[in-house]
Amino acid sequence: MRILFIGDVYGRTGRDALAKHLPTLREKLKPDVVIVNGENAAHGIGITESICKEFYGIGTDVITTGNHVWDQREIISYIDRDPKLLRPLNFPKGTPGKGAYKHTLPDGRTILVVNAMARIFMDPLDCPFVAMNELINSYRMGPGGVNAILLDFHGEATSEKMAMGHHLDGRVSVVVGTHTHVPTADVQIFNGGTAYQSDAGMTGDYDSIIGVRKDIPIGRFIRKMYTEKFAPTDGEATVCGLFVETDDRNGWAKNAGAVRIGPRLKEEIPTF
């Protein structure tokens, strides 16, 4: 299975870049499934029903989120009506929405897409390691199970993300980190067959501070006081993500490579 994952889409400029470059990525990579983290898609804070439909309209199959999932209040009443829009799996029981979705390809192959949130420097949710263990007991890769499993692990600390990757090595196809908006150079396949990247990076304007107009966070750092609300920049954005090819027989990754297309960052489009 050929899996394209796109990192945190930030604001209008990120949405425009996704719409512009996804057709090219589809043509060159020929993915079987496209997964997009959209938690910052609405002006940098949250996502809306109309943006979800916009993403589906350009070829997105599943949308993941993170700590900003509830920033647009309308999503609370929408998320239960859209099983392809995920919130972190380890929110307390009774929270609207789901943390996993089994997507079926036209040819009958299946991929379980999971969204979980880390805890270091983040909201103290239920343990993501326990939540993943419980989930995987119900969804195994291989004969009689799903063909692939991808986890979007939304978190701040690279150590916690890497710990999750090794914890799940051989039991899932992909563990890819989101949230920091900075792509990491550690794309690899672990010994057990799980593809890993600490952070896919954002789909946003990199002439910024993680998507935000530069003067605002700089002012906060210098003055140590709240100045004004964060506002996205409006420059041309770069699409960042991870592309993985898996073995349908056991779900393990065969190839993995970073994806970057747009200005400022060096372009990378895998050729496998």
At 198-246, the pLDDT tens digits run 999 999 999 999 999 998 999 999 988 887 888 899 999 999 999 999 9
Tokens 């990120």, residue located = 14
The pLDDT of residue 188: 98
With 0-12 CB in 10 A as exposed, 13-18 as middle and 19+ as buried, what is 50? Answer: exposed
Mean pLDDT score across all residues of the chain: 96
Task: State the catalytic residues.
Answer: 68
The pLDDT of residue 192: 98
With 0-12 CB in 10 A as exposed, 13-18 as middle and 19+ as buried, what is 121? Answer: exposed
At 57-93, the pLDDT tens digits run 999 999 999 999 999 999 999 999 999 999 999 999 9
Mean pLDDT over residues 191-202, rounded? 98
Calpha distance 110→143 (Å, rounded): 12
At 127-172, the pLDDT tens digits run 999 999 999 999 989 888 999 999 999 999 999 999 999 999 999 9
